[in-house]
């Protein structure tokens, strides 16, 4: 009985047990890392001194996955509900989000490599869908847990009336120097029932969280160079993945440089805990905002109140007290000339991305000029898609307003948004230039195509890449079953010519063994069988017969 052939990847059944196990591993590791990073960052910045750390951590993790957090308040004045706290937070802590995205993508991609060189589309969809469903389910739990109410002691708001003196109003600029007047009046208006709370918007957070996890999985598939794809997406290996992986690599390297700078500042600064906590929560926010800004993408922003102090110098000096101010490297350089170093660093980062693209792009079937143009086009398309995403992710919108009978006692806010159309155009221009120059550098050093993935080369690409070193006929490099070449065998009475000794004069030096010459034999001539005449030929003439 002939055994049946093994099933192909198109007809192979989806391993639901492995799908569920890998999804649980990916989502659980991602949420554990995000929760740990958020809790540690909040503790280092001292946020747990104002309220419970658990609900705040849940809220920050929900914000990192695209969720929205809305603060609320209730200030009672003489027993009357005459005041409220209003605010909105539109900020994604990318430090927490990046840790979760990296772990989620790594576990998800590792689960795909067991499928072989090609994975079925339905298996890929099943694995991605399982991860998305579990992620949204856990995010719903965080949205339920991410709400809390923080009570504020009215005595601590007063100037010197509090126990031990030195209230919060004494620390506000301008109020502490008055000494009694306005500070004591505000402290008397607000009693001990003051409370400020926050809650996660469940519906919007779940929808944004679903978009977040699908975007992470898509970027991971496009940037991974050793992960199988369905058969119809074979072109993605050589067209999209070299440029996408190079751009993701340099962006992650820039974040590591930002963490290193924060570590140095923590070692040399006065508040190392706050510096490292801020870096854990928002280092990618500052780094990825600086990349498009250094490449001349224009931003506009406003900063008022105490929140303006959260911006780095000289951005805080440029925005303080001004509305809708454009932010460019030139305007910032007027306040601090070192800003031009940001442009140099961003340009070098793009050049590194162009060189990596050329090193990872297979070089076959094209000229040097065509190879450089190919790298420029692909990296330009990748950066044209990545820069608007960076601008959107690093946008900031935070407003806080505490009003008493319509009077704004405390007001603060930050608005910082970049131009998405300009990011798209400048991303394409910078990516194209960096891809072309990087390809020329890789060609000059001989590194072009050295790190190309086997998935990107393919079967026909490997044959074409070896044109210069072919030693067998062309049929040997074509795909198909193995067909052995015909073997020459002599007839039954015919001698084998391969066993004939070489003809020609004998060598001048006779071979010896242990100093004694070997006996020489004359070369044997091949013996041929006697020629048999055909039956119709006349007999050969013989000797004359006698009478």
Q: Return d(Cα 412, Cα 305) in angstroms, integer.
A: 4
- Asked, for residue 228, whether it belongs to a domain, the answer is yes
Helix runs in 45-93, H state only = 53-64
Specify whether 204 is located in the same domain as 292: no
Specify whether 262 is located in the same domain as 401: yes
- Asked, for residue 169, whether it belongs to a domain, the answer is no
Q: Return d(Cα 290, Cα 89) in angstroms, integer.
A: 21
Specify whether 256 is located in the same domain as 364: yes
Say if residues 277 and 42 touch (Cβ distance below 8 Å).
Answer: yes
- Asked, for residue 288, whether it belongs to a domain, the answer is yes
Q: Of 462, 482, 510, at which residue does a domain stop?
A: 462
Specify whether 256 is located in the same domain as 216: no
**CB-based burial of residue 283 (10 Å sphere; 0-12 exposed, 13-18 middle, 19+ buried)?**
buried
- Asked, for residue 188, whether it belongs to a domain, the answer is no
* Residue (of 153, 116, 155) closest to 8 by Cα position: 116
User: What's 148's DSSP letter?
Assistant: E
Cα-flanking dihedrals φ and ψ of residue 87, to 5°?
Answer: -175, 170
Q: Count of domains in the chain?
A: 2
Q: Of 444, 462, 480, at which residue does a domain stop?
A: 462
- Asked, for residue 412, whether it belongs to a domain, the answer is yes
Specify whether 256 is located in the same domain as 387: yes
- pLDDT tens, per residue, the chain with 547 residues: 444 444 555 566 888 888 999 999 999 999 999 999 999 998 898 877 766 788 888 888 888 888 777 665 544 333 333 334 445 566 788 999 999 999 999 999 999 987 778 888 899 999 999 999 999 998 888 777 756 554 444 444 444 444 444 443 344 344 344 344 434 444 443 444 445 456 677 788 888 899 999 999 999 999 998 898 888 888 898 899 999 999 999 999 999 999 999 999 888 878 888 889 888 988 898 899 999 999 999 988 887 765 666 667 777 777 776 666 788 898 888 888 888 999 999 999 999 999 999 999 988 767 899 999 999 999 999 999 999 999 999 887 766 554 333 334 345 667 888 899 999 999 999 999 999 999 999 999 989 988 888 777 654 444 444 443 444 544 454 555 555 555 656 666 666 666 666 555 555 555 555 556 655 555 555 556 666 666 665 666 655 555 4
Specify whether 210 is located in the same domain as 281: no
Beta strands at 80-90 and 148-151: parallel, antiparallel or unpaired:
unpaired
Domain around 57: 14-68+88-150+199-233
Q: What is the pTM of this model?
A: 0.71
Specify whether 226 is located in the same domain as 289: no
């Amino acid at each position: 009985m002939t055994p049946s052939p093994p099933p192909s990847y198109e007809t192979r059944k989806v391993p639901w047990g492995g799908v569920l196990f890998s999804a649980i591993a990916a989502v659980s590791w991602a949420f554990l890392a995000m929760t740990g990073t958020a809790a540690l960052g909040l503790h280092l910045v001292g946020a747990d001194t104002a309220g419970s750390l658990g609900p705040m951590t849940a809220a920050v993790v929900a914000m990192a996955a695209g969720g929205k957090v809305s603060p609320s308040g209730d200030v009672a004045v003489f027993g009357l509900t005459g005041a409220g706290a209003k605010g909105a937070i539109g900020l994604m802590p990318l430090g927490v989000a990046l840790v979760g995205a990296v772990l989620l993508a790594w576990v998800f991609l590792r689960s795909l490599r067991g499928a072989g060189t090609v994975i079925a589309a339905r298996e890929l969809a099943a694995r991605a869908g399982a991860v998305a469903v579990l992620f949204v389910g856990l995010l719903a739990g965080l949205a339920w847990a991410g709400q809390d109410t923080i009570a504020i002691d009215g005595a601590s708001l007063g100037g010197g009336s509090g126990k031990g003196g030195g209230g919060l109003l004494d620390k506000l600029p301008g109020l502490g120097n008055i000494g009694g007047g306005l500070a004591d009046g505000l402290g008397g208006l607000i009693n001990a029932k003051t409370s400020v709370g926050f809650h996660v918007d469940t519906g919007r957070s779940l929808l944004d969280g679903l978009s977040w996890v699908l975007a992470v999985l898509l970027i991971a598939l496009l940037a991974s160079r050793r992960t199988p794809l369905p058969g119809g997406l074979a072109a993605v290996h050589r067209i999209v993945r070299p440029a996408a992986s190079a751009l993701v690599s340099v962006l992650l390297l820039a974040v590591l440089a930002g963490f290193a700078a924060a570590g140095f500042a923590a070692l040399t600064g006065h508040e190392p805990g706050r510096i490292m906590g801020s870096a854990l929560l928002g280092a990618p926010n500052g780094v990825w905002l600086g990349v498009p800004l250094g490449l001349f993408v224009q931003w506009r922003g406003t900063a008022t109140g105490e929140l303006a102090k959260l911006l780095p110098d000289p951005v805080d000096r440029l925005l303080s007290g001004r509305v809708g101010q454009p932010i460019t490297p030139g305007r910032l350089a007027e306040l601090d000339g070192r800003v031009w170093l940001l442009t140099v660093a961003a340009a070098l980062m793009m050049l590194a991305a162009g060189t990596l693209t050329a090193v990872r792009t297979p070089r076959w079937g094209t000229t040097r000029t065509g190879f450089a143009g190919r790298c420029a086009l692909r990296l330009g398309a990748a950066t044209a898609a990545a820069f608007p995403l960076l601008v959107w992710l690093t946008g900031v919108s935070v407003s806080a307003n505490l009003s008493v009978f319509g009077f704004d006692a405390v007001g603060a806010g930050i608005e910082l948004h970049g131009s998405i159309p300009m990011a798209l155009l400048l991303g394409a221009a910078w990516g194209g230039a960096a891809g072309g120059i990087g390809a020329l550098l890789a060609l000059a050093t001989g590194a072009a195509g050295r790190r190309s993935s086997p998935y990107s080369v393919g079967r026909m690409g490997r044959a074409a890449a070896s044109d210069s070193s072919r030693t067998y006929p062309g049929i040997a490099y074509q795909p198909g079953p193995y067909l052995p070449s015909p073997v020459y065998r002599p007839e039954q009475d015919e001698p084998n010519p391969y066993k004939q000794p070489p003809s020609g004069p004998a060598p001048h030096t006779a071979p010896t063994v242990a100093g004694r010459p070997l006996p020489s034999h004359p070369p044997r001539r091949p013996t041929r069988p006697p020629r048999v005449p055909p039956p119709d030929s006349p007999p050969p003439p013989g000797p004359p017969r006698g009478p």
